[in-house]
Structure 1
Amino acid sequence: MNIKKGDTVLVIAGKDRGKQGTVVRALPQLNKVIVEGVNLVKRHQKPQGQLRQGGIIEKALPIHVSNTMLICTECGQPTRVAHERRPMGADQKLRPVRICKKCGKVIADRTRSA
């Protein structure tokens, strides 16, 4: 899957077409992602003892990854993703990186620190 947790994506299909948001959770087994502020539904929830309050809550449901497009961290445009193996890190080992098809630069990985 080309989209990871922490990426900014643009919704290209469905009721929320045109909205941007950050990926809160990626579900690669289902090919779906949960995007902050997109595909919101209201759910009736029972109170769970002292922990959770009951009532009507708004919840973001997963959307299919094909209905989203990654926004490049360098050029800020929605883009397709290429994969390449480049030497990285202190040991200069070949590691897979995601590359923007529009500007050709490496897409920054927000989940990885450094």
Structure 2
Amino acid sequence: MNKLKKGDQVVVLAGRDKGKRGTVAQRVDADHIVVDGVNIVKKHVKPNPMKGTTGGVVDKTMPIHQSNVAIFNPATGKADRVGIKLLDDGKKVRVYKSSGEEIKA
């Protein structure tokens, strides 16, 4: 079970965007996620008349390693770690480590 999912609010812990908050837009692979507004780079693109795209410099959001982000806990207003709890009916749910409260997502 992945500890971070699409749509989660996260806080960046390391790197040039440290302290920024954003929403997980997608999971790229097992270790990398794309967060809206974080790790934006300038990408030089060539014009492609077949697709109708113009060339130039565009801003692109690049993936970031999931170890460099932590889930945002709205109850405390801080970053928090994620734990996995097994319910009585056998289902696994994600919980905040600080409070043990279930993550709603």
User: TM-score of the superposition, structure 2-length normalised?
Assistant: 0.86
Cα deviations across residues 30-81 of structure 1 (Å, max 9, x unaligned)?
x011110001000011223244332211001111111001112544431111
Percent identity reads 38
Mapping of residues 11-30 of structure 1, within 5 Å = 11-29=12-30
1:86 equivalenced with 2:82 (yes/no): no
Separation in 1, partners of 2:37, 2:21: 8
Structure 1 residue ranges, 4+ long, deviating more than 4 angstroms after superposition: none
Shift of 1:95: 1.5
1:102 equivalenced with 2:103 (yes/no): no
Residue identity in the other structure for 1:15 = R
Question: Which SS does the other structure have where 1:34 is aligned?
Answer: strand
Residue identity in the other structure for 2:71 = L
Cα 1:96–1:73 change in 2 (3 A) is: farther
Residue identity in the other structure for 1:37 = G
Counterpart for residue 47 of structure 1: 47
Question: Which SS does the other structure have where 1:94 is aligned?
Answer: coil
User: TM-score of the superposition, structure 1-length normalised?
Assistant: 0.80
Separation in 1, partners of 2:29, 2:94: 16
Residue identity in the other structure for 2:20 = K
1:10 equivalenced with 2:6 (yes/no): no
Aligned residues: 103
Unaligned stretches of 5+ in structure 1?
A: 88-92, 110-114
Structural RMSD (CA):
1.7
Separation in 2, partners of 1:51, 1:9: 35
Separation in 1, partners of 2:73, 2:35: 16
